[in-house]
Amino acid sequence: MIADVANPLATIEIGSTGIRILIAAIGKDGSIKVLDRAGKPSRIGRDVFTQGSISRDAIRESIAVLATFRELLATYGINPEDTKVIGTSALREAANKETFVDRITLQTGFKTRVVEDIEENHLMYLAVQQALMDERKLLGKTNSMILEVGGGTTEIMLLRRGRMVSSHSLHIGTLRLEEQMKEAGASKDYLEEYLASNIRMACDLMADDMPLESVKTFIVIGADARFAAYCMSGKNFGAYSILERNQFMGFAESISRLSVEECIATYRLPWSEAQGIASGLAIESLFLGRTGAEIVVIPNVSIREGLLLAEARGMDPKVENELTRQVVASAKSLGKRYRYDDDHARNVCALSLAIFDELAKEHGMGSRERLLLETAAILHDIGTYVRASGHHRHGEYIVANSEIFGLNRSDINVISNVVRYHRKNPPAPTHVNFISLPREDRITVLKLSAILRVADALDRNHSARIADASFERSGDRFIIRPAKNLDFSLERLSLADKGDMFEDVFGLLPTIL
């Protein structure tokens, strides 16, 4: 029993190989009490990875499964519109995903949201954090890799002493591999070579973010890993299981020698699970072999727990602070990859946030927009990696095509536009990336860009001459009072050039006194 149990919450994941539901209650202490769970196999991934879209039969089957889930939810007094439903890799890639989502909504009442891979990583991170509460001190002291092998993709997160360094999504998954090998008529030996080659290349790229031999804690999520933990722990698998490196790799090797039929007979697995278990464990074992980890931590969680936690705890200040920390760390990691000026970015960031806080009544924005401004300020000059001339446009492209842990695609689109407009011309009707944003996001871009332009002007020569300043409003002027008594002629010229958007948006003329 857990104290102070809230009303039951429900999450549904429409995945590559199955549709699964979790019904649970969350206590005020963050503990999860699972009330019910169910799952049905799905052919969605097989359809998408072979023909690019979801077949009519698969759509009908999905609707039938969700209809039974709706009846289950009714017994807990939960309505379809109150249930969080997400689609992952297969649905992301389906050419007819809009039709699929629309039919699901019309015929079952469930509103499905297709999550980006970076958001999928964030949800998994929340679930892992909760499951490993007892191990948080350990994770905070070592470098870690979090790995999830799904039917369509393999998701990877690298953490340095508990802080996010980078996240990656690879188009390697158990179901996708099965279809690729079947289409090519490839042998088992070829599959092993193919996996080894692809994982070696992926690890070589990740080594630029963090040396993989420095990874001492290997955290693996997914049905294949949970199966290994269940078998190796003597069927005593609680919130998590810890296996030795050689123990895990030895089990993966033993499974690889079995045929699908032998797996079914030996472990009494259903066909849908037995098909991909060998390739899933092989992928996990190959990644483990590239790290310096001596232990494998297997949490007994899925993305559904993460979604439930995000829904229940999203407004918790501690959770918000942790998310902000991870987003900022991920943004800085991206900046380092493109050799940004860390000192300048830090100073512009501090000035931007100070102005944002001072103008709280004028802009009416909240913590989400503040985080987007902070991220944009960190990355505003990232385009100089390509060329100093036009670096605002290069920066927009880099950010728009990058991933920042904890932010979804809408957030990234706002940030890339703020980076674009931190200098030169303001938005115009011919700027497609700006015009294509929802109206609310366009307004956010204008406000955040106006603030960033002023902050960037105050550090015109990248020397942090205005590192501290006080602000006040006087009539139609926004007064900036630097802490130091220096000649700020250069900054005044820069502010005169870049302060026009600030005056247009907020009705205040920025002035250095």
Q: Is residue 508 part of a domain?
A: yes
Query: 58 lies in a domain?
Result: yes
400 and 286 in a common domain: no
Which residues sit opposite 80 in a β-bridge?
Answer: none
Residues 33, 91, single domain; the answer is: yes
331 shares its domain with 479:
yes
State whether 432 and 491 are in the same domain: yes
pLDDT of the residue at 1: 38
Q: How many CA atoms lie within 13 A of 80 on its CB side?
A: 16
Question: Strand ranges (DSSP E) for 4-123?
Answer: 9-14, 18-26, 32-41, 84-87, 112-114
Q: Running along the chain, 513 residues long, what does each successive block of 10 average in pLDDT?
A: 62 94 83 89 93 96 97 95 94 95 96 86 84 68 91 90 82 88 79 90 89 95 91 77 95 94 92 88 96 94 87 61 82 93 96 96 92 97 96 97 86 97 94 95 97 96 91 94 92 94 96 93
Same-domain pairing of 305 and 320: no
Residue 3 covered by a domain: no
| Pair (39, 175) in one structural domain | no
List, in sequence order, every beta strand (DSSP E) within 277-422: 295-299
In this structure, the answer to whether residues 334 and 470 fall within a common structural domain is yes
Which residue in 333, 362, 308 sits closest to 33, CA to CA?
308
Residue 202 in tokens: 């992926």
**Within a domain: residue 281?**
yes
Contact (CB, 8 A) for 85 and 111: yes
Contact 384, 377 (CB under 8 A): no
Residue 401 near residue 118, CB atoms below 8 Å: no
- Counted domains in the chain: 3
Residue 386 identity: V
What is the Cα gyration radius of the chain? 25
In a domain, 1, yes or no: no
Domain of 246, CATH number, reads: 3.30.420.150
Distance CA 306, CA 303 (A): 5
Q: Do 21 and 159 lie in a common domain?
A: no
For residues 296 and 129, give the distance between their C-alpha atoms in angstroms, rounded to a whole number: 15
Whether residues 300 and 282 share a domain: the answer is yes
234 falls within a domain: yes
d(CA 449, CA 356): 11
In 3D, which of 90, 76, 6 has the Cα closest to residue 38? 76
Angle, helices 342-358 vs 439-457, to 10°: value is: 120
Distance in Å from the first CA to the final CA of the chain: 62
Tokens representing 511 are: 């002035």
Do the Cβ atoms of 93 and 116 come closer than 8 Å?
no
Q: Find the domain containing 43 and state its range.
A: 9-115
Q: Is the Cβ–Cβ distance between 335 and 379 less than 8 Å?
A: yes
Residue 362 is part of a domain; what is its CATH number?
A: 1.10.3210.10
Same domain, 223 and 345: no
Please report whether residue 232 resides in a domain. yes
83 and 127 within one domain: no
Strand partners, 241: 298
Rounded CA gap, 42 and 259, in Å? 22
Q: Is residue 185 part of a domain?
A: yes
Q: What is the pTM of this model?
A: 0.74
Q: Which of 89, 115, 141 is the last residue of a domain?
A: 115
Residues 365, 342 share a domain: yes
* Residue 83: both structure tokens together: 């249930």
